[in-house]
Amino acid sequence: MAPAFDETDRCSEFSYDGDEDATPDSFSLTKLEEAREVITRSTVYFDDEPFDIVARVAAPGFPKDKVESEIATIQYIASHTDIPVPRVYGFNSDNSNPVGMEYMILEKISGVSASDVWDTLPLELKQVTVSEVADYIIQLFRLRFEVGGSLYRGPEKKEFVGPIVATPFYRALDGVVRFAQPVDRNITLYRGPFQNASAYLRSFLDAELRLVEDRRHHILKHELDGNEEVLERGIRVLKKAVQLSLVYPGNLCVSEPLTSPGRPFSLRMDDFRLSNMMIDRESGHITGVIDFEGATVAPLWECAYMPRWLQDPGEWDATHEGGSAEDRKILRNLFLKKIEKHDRTGEWIPALERGRPFREFTNILSFNLGVWADQEEWVDERMEWTKTHPHIAFPST
């Protein structure tokens, strides 16, 4: 969803792939620059040193409260952990503001993106980075909540968990708009907050079923090539998956006994991606973690994950970035050693191992109906498993 810049009118547009029927969303670069200038003039320099700031806008493809949640998450992490995050200098979550879109103005973190230098970074410096990532992930894991969803700030700046900002509640995913017109607001009913893991899982499925109900003709024509059989099979599988979400993980946390059994949720970032970490290229130390739009309050087994760039390249949840399999193995072993050192409760590694099959479930929750239509065997296997193994994860593939 990269904005296109036009020097003549100082206006930028969000043009989405496949969004030929809709007028591009636009915002005023002039007004955004004016807002940035106001913030710069009104903010006292820290330690009498100039500072750099960065302005970001939220495309309308995101839910309305995306900016408010991201700001609340940054501020919560800043006040409850030692994780380096950017300072928030200002934001506006009202789309009717002069800029024309929600925006935030943040501190610009020094350093370089880890993804830009990882391939050439010496192994000993990568080890510094990975050690700090392990520490940060444990710090997030220690944060506990009674319900799931996304973070917001209420009166007197007190944080609370509210509706989740995640797929399938985006109008556009990876720059591709699914529907030219905004979806029925009724799907917001499924955004939580969630009282247990089952409610967290089924919300995504319920939302897709509602979208199919509201946009049946569009989905049939544009996603399924008019194939009614696939449509009906997809609906059937989605309904089975809803039942699976009720009996599969239930309200059970994968590590027992818990130190805080009444607070089965923690804070999960949308992966510690290399591109979301700024590092000092000379020392490997992390100078800041950025981009919190995918952070959610999720079940513990969803929060105990190994960054995908540390996974063996052959794993289903690995990414192409991360370097050679040999280097990843060395770094992965270091990561787990550091996790054991920092995790005083001993809950994280059991949650990682026993929660893997549950994370496989969440990994496919953002699929649309056409993909679910091909998942009937996958769902049936797990439904059969739960008859004799209630709340126990299906053997991981």
Containing structural domain, residue 67: 27-107
User: In terms of C-beta density within 10 A (0-12 exposed, 13-18 middle, 19 or more buried), how is residue 256 classed?
Assistant: exposed
The radius of gyration computed from the CA coordinates of the chain, to the nearest angstrom, equals 22
Q: How far apart are CA 211 and CA 219, in angstroms?
A: 9
Q: Could you give the angle at which helices 325-342 and 348-363 cross, rounded to 10 degrees? A: 130
Contacts of 281 (CB under 8 A, 6+ apart): 111, 112, 117, 121, 125
**Terminal-residue alpha carbon distance, the chain:** 34
Q: Contact at 8 Å (CB) between 267 and 299? A: no
CA distance 363 to 356: 10
Say which residues have a Cβ less than 8 Å from residue 71's Cβ, sequence separation at least 6: 88, 91, 104, 153
Under DSSP, the state recorded for 118 is T
Claim to verify: residue 54 and residue 114 sit in the same structural domain: no
Could you tell me if 150 and 219 lie in one domain? yes
Same domain, 120 and 68: no
Backbone dihedral angles phi then psi of residue 86, each to the nearest 5 degrees = -70, 145
**118 and 249 part of one domain:** yes
Any bridge partners for residue 14, and if so which? 3, 25
Residue 250 to residue 336: CA distance in whole angstroms: 28
| Pair (100, 124) in one structural domain | no
Q: Shortest CA distance to 30 belongs to which of 90, 87, 89, 103?
A: 103
SS (H, E, C) 329-356: HHHHHHHHHHHHHHCCCCCHHHHHHHHH
Tokens of 44: 């006292």
Tell whether 256 and 338 lie within a shared domain.
Answer: yes
pLDDT of residue 319: 85
Say whether both 305 and 396 belong to one domain: yes
- Domain count across the chain: 2
Among 107, 130, 157, which residue terminates a domain?
107
Question: Helix, strand, or coil here: 87?
Answer: coil
pLDDT tens for the chain, 397 residues long, are 344 434 444 544 444 444 455 555 554 445 445 445 544 444 444 444 445 766 665 655 555 678 889 999 999 999 999 999 998 887 766 665 555 567 778 888 999 999 999 999 999 999 999 999 999 999 999 999 999 999 998 887 789 999 998 766 665 554 556 666 656 556 778 888 999 888 998 998 998 998 888 889 989 998 999 999 999 999 999 999 999 988 876 544 444 444 445 578 999 987 788 999 999 999 999 999 988 877 899 999 899 989 999 998 888 778 888 889 999 999 999 999 999 999 988 889 988 888 888 888 888 887 889 999 999 999 999 999 888 887 677 776 5
Confidence at residue 108, expressed as pLDDT on a 0 to 100 scale: 85
Q: Which amino acid is at 239?
A: K
Q: Find the CATH number of the domain harbouring 83.
A: 3.30.200.20
Q: How many angstroms separate the CA atoms of 264 and 374, rounded?
A: 32
Q: Looking at the domain assignment, is residue 22 inside a domain?
A: no
* Closest to 24 (Cα-Cα) out of 48, 4, 38: 4
Domain limit, last residue, from 71, 88, 107: 107
Is the same domain home to 198 and 271? Answer: yes
DSSP-assigned letter for residue 108 = P
Q: Are 134 and 342 in contact (CB under 8 A)?
A: yes
Last residue of one domain, picked from the residues 58, 89, 107: 107
Is 297:148 a contact under the CB 8 Å cutoff? yes
Q: Are residues 54 and 177 in the same domain?
A: no
Spatial distance between the Cα atoms of 100 and 88, rounded to a whole number of angstroms: 20
**What is the spatial distance between Cα 316 and Cα 152, in angstroms, rounded to a whole number?**
33
Three-class DSSP labels, 152-213: EECHHHCEEEECCCCCCCCCEECCEECCCCCCCHHHHHHCCCECCHHHHHHHHHHHHHHHHH
Q: Is the bond into 168 cis (omega within 30 degrees of 0)?
A: yes
Strand partners, 5: 12
Q: Measuring CA to CA, which residue among 214, 156, 230 is closest to residue 182? A: 214
> Looking at the structure, do residues 259 and 350 belong to the same domain, yes or no?
yes
**Is 262 part of a structural domain of the chain?**
yes
Indicate whether 61 and 135 sit together in one domain.
Answer: no
CB 186 within 8 A of CB 238: no
Which residue type occupies 222? H
User: Does one domain contain both 41 and 154?
Assistant: no
